[in-house]
Structure 1
Amino acid sequence: MCGRFVVARAVGEIQTIFEVDEIVGSIPGVSYNVAPTQPIAIIVDRAFEKAEDGSPIGELSREIHSARWGLVPRWAKSPDEHGPLINGRIESILEKPSFKDSVIRRRCVIPASGYYEWQVAADGTKQPFYISAGTDGMFALAGLYEWWADPSKNAADPARWLLSATTLTKDSAPELAHIHDRNPVLLSPDTFEAWLDPHIIGDQELLEAVAIDSDMVAAEAEFFKVGTDVGQVRNNSPELIRALS
């Protein structure tokens, strides 16, 4: 499972890389140790009008928003009722009440320079690895998002709404299986547009196509061992992604 990741580029660079039309609100900046429940940047394709069935009408705008990492289902009584839902297994998300509605049209991309994973040795010790898209690259992590309304706030209060998101994971690609048995779902140029497009209804066929292409992206990933300081959320510097000699 992916429990920490890195965003080593400023939001303006992310906007350029992913051809985003608009930055909405205040977006979190560079971080070398993004942890659950922290704010993260998500990319969505959004229509300004929707039909009664939720389908988009007219042209789409590609936007960057800030969201809480850890999806909060819209029917939850509080943001922490079910713990931070930071990952969803792509094999079963259509069966999970917390995720299945978001798969249909509330899909997003989470930009990441790379992520951390811990390899567990036979003696139980854990060695963190940094897995990345290379010095100049960025991963497009497949994600889902949801809006939760705080019942304690007035319906007209904009602060009533909490935007949250989760990353998706799958069985690890062969090249990464020696590190961990799961890896994030990594979008390819071919699946990126389809994943974001709310005109496309999310179904098993889309999930399978995304999972297949994820392995091709993962096969090109770079990885190396890093220090154990990443295990502490308070640590956040470029030193965290320095390879151990």
Structure 2
Amino acid sequence: MCYSTSNKEKSIAQMERELEAQKKASLNYKPHYWMTGFAHETIYAVTQENPSIIDEMTWGIVEPWTNDVSERWKKLAGKSLNTQAEYVFENNRSEEAILKRRCIIPVTGYFEPYKIKSASYPHLVQPVHETYLGLLGVYNTINGINYTSILTAPANSFMEMVHNGKKRQPIMLDPNYWKEWVSNDLNDGQIRHLMFQCDTEQELEAFTVLRTATNARADNNVPEILDKQYFPEVVEQQKYDIRQADVYNENWDNLNSGNQNPTNLFG
């Protein structure tokens, strides 16, 4: 799942450069340190219908025939924010959108909960070298408003160590395939290939942040929400998790290793 994101760049210029697109003339760009999808605020995307333009999206997809969007959101809850890629061709909110209305949603990072028993320790996941991750999305348009959802899939070996409860992740498409995702020339098989076989090769890092970061009711849109926090119990548990893993992931070197009192997870 992916219910909160960050888009911290003060200017949209870097987004335009990395996506090779220009902002829509009427777009009023507003950065955020933290945003919860449950507030159904504006996020940005390049779309299949107009891949050279960065457009505005309202986070929370609904069926294209929906009359009362707010009431539908109440019933769907988190299901409007994320769509499982395994069922995107059958889901009545996305079965047409996956063919005709795909989008790339740029974020500078997103937040996922790491669990130790019943305790939750939110992590910020972000690229090390680039500014943006490109999350896969689909959308429906109702009365001129785009309502979008982020596609999710089973977690890769790195994200399993971060989102260790439900072990899912937003699909982070490799930048080499961003333009292909929003092209009109894809069949079902090619769409599935991009969703499940083209995970980003960007170097990632993940570290603990303030524990309110996954609380949708908290006032988290502050710079401090992006600061690294040190929890020794998390570092020790993740060291144990990695030792138990069957497959090494090079991004594990960046898992909480930059916190205060940095710990080499392989030391």
Distance (whole Å) between structure 2 residues aligned to residue 77 and residue 228 of structure 1: 37
Residues 233 and 204 from structure 1, CA distance in 2 versus in 1: closer, same or farther, beyond 3 angstroms?
A: farther
Q: Secondary structure at the match of 1:77?
A: coil
Counterpart residue number, 2:7: 7
What letter corresponds to residue 97 of structure 2 in structure 1? S
Contact 2:2 2:169 in 1 (8 A): yes
Q: Secondary structure at the match of 1:95?
A: coil
Match of 1:73 among 63, 82, 107: 63
Match of 1:240 among 219, 222, 225: 225
Distance (whole Å) between structure 2 residues aligned to residue 202 and residue 90 of structure 1: 15
Q: Secondary structure at the match of 1:168?
A: strand
Match of 1:118 among 113, 120, 132: 113
What letter corresponds to residue 217 of structure 1 in structure 2? E
**Deviation readout 1:70-113 (Å, 9 max, x if unpaired):** 01221112113143511011111001111110000201111101
Counterpart residue number, 1:18: 19
Contact 1:28 1:39 in 2 (8 A): no
Residues 120 and 65 from structure 1, CA distance in 2 versus in 1: closer, same or farther, beyond 3 angstroms?
A: same
Question: 1:63-212 residue pairs with structure 2 within 5 A?
Answer: 63-80=53-70, 81=72, 82-84=75-77, 85-122=80-117, 124-134=118-128, 136-149=130-143, 161-180=144-163, 181-197=167-183, 199-212=184-197
**TM-score where L is the length of structure 1:** 0.82
What letter corresponds to residue 17 of structure 1 in structure 2? E
Distance (whole Å) between structure 1 residues aligned to residue 221 and residue 176 of structure 2: 33
- Structure 1 residue 30, shift from structure 2 partner: 1.2
Distance (whole Å) between structure 1 residues aligned to residue 168 and residue 207 of structure 2: 17
Distance (whole Å) between structure 1 residues aligned to residue 181 and residue 218 of structure 2: 31
CA RMSD of aligned residues (A): 1.9
What letter corresponds to residue 41 of structure 1 in structure 2? Y
Contact 2:23 2:55 in 1 (8 A): no
Distance (whole Å) between structure 2 residues aligned to residue 205 and residue 133 of structure 1: 26
Structure 1, gaps ≥5 residues long: 48-60, 150-160
Residues 113 and 28 from structure 1, CA distance in 2 versus in 1: closer, same or farther, beyond 3 angstroms?
A: same
Q: Secondary structure at the match of 1:210?
A: helix
Structure with the largest fraction of strand: 1
Residues 30 and 21 from structure 1, CA distance in 2 versus in 1: closer, same or farther, beyond 3 angstroms?
A: closer
- Structure 1 residue 135, shift from structure 2 partner: 6.1
Counterpart residue number, 1:46: 49
Q: Which runs of 4+ in 1 moved over 3 A?
A: none
Contact 2:162 2:206 in 1 (8 A): no
Q: Secondary structure at the match of 2:63?
A: coil
Contact 1:108 1:144 in 2 (8 A): yes
What letter corresponds to residue 45 of structure 2 in structure 1? I
- Structure 1 residue 176, shift from structure 2 partner: 1.5
Contact 1:116 1:130 in 2 (8 A): yes
Structure 2, gaps ≥5 residues long: 230-259, 261-267
Distance (whole Å) between structure 2 residues aligned to residue 12 and residue 243 of structure 1: 26
**TM-score where L is the length of structure 2:** 0.75
Contact 1:119 1:129 in 2 (8 A): yes
What letter corresponds to residue 184 of structure 1 in structure 2? P
Structure with the largest fraction of helix: 2
Distance (whole Å) between structure 2 residues aligned to residue 241 and residue 22 of structure 1: 26
